[in-house]
Amino acid sequence: MLKQILLSTKIIIMVLLSGQIHADEVKIDVPFELLELIGDVEYGEYLASDCKTCHKANGESGGIPNIHGKSMGELITALYAYREKIKPNPVMQMQAGRLSDEEIAALAAYFENLINWEE
Ligand code: HEC
């Protein structure tokens, strides 16, 4: 019973946080502990220098999606899914494979808040 309540709470929070999940997509069950972390934006900025070599400010380049301004829920869900190899992409699986929960939260907080990204 308690387990069921916890599970449904988790799903509701997940749906609220992630605009990207559609009913027909593979369900990505991001752990509650990860979703509730508060990301450190400055640490995220530090970590993001690697990401920005591929993810450029202006839209897609060579099939690399723009991640600027995506919601925190979308970013966390995507990074978690690559790390756990739920989402198939070798490049991003390798990138996310080294990230701790704290680092995912920090990167998501940074990219979500990135308003003027000029590089
Ligand atoms: C070597 C190039 C490269 C680097 C470095 C890189 N990415 Fe990516 N990233 C990609 C590619 C290519 C995709 C598209 C993968 C796919 O089709 O699923 C992607 C996808 C993503 C997505 C999903 C976007 C979407 O719209 O679905 C997120 C979020 C993301 N990357 C975040 C990051 C973060 C954060 C970092 C730094 C830790 C990073 N990436 C580093 C190439 C890179």
2 pLDDT higher than 80: no
Nearest CA to ligand 1 atom 10: 64
The phi and psi torsions of 49 (rounded to 5 degrees) equal -60, -40
Question: What is the per-residue pLDDT for 63?
Answer: 80
Q: How many CA atoms lie within 13 A of 73 on its CB side?
A: 15
11 pLDDT higher than 80: no
Question: What is the per-residue pLDDT for 19?
Answer: 46
Distance (Å) from CA 88 to ligand 1 centroid: 11
The structure's pTM equals: 0.81
The verdict on the CB of residue 78 being under 6 Å from ligand 1 is yes
Question: What is the per-residue pLDDT for 116?
Answer: 55
3 state SS of 35: helix
| Weakest-pLDDT range from 19-23, 49-53, 96-100, 108-112 | 19-23
**Could you state, in order of their start, the residue ranges of all structural domains in the chain?**
2-112
When pLDDT is averaged across residues 82-110 and rounded to a whole number, the result is 97
When pLDDT is averaged across residues 94-103 and rounded to a whole number, the result is 98
- Which residues touch 90 (CB under 8 Å, ≥6 apart)? none
Helix 101-112 / helix 41-54 crossing angle, nearest 10 deg: 80
Q: What does the CA dihedral 74, 77, 79, 82 come to, rounded to 10 degrees?
A: -130
The verdict on the CB of residue 91 being under 6 Å from ligand 1 is yes
Find the DSSP H helices in the chain: 2-17, 32-35, 41-54, 72-83, 90-97, 101-112
Q: How far is CA 55 from the centre of its chain?
A: 14
2-112 CATH, one of 2.30.40.10, 3.40.50.10190, 1.10.760.10, 3.40.50.2300: 1.10.760.10
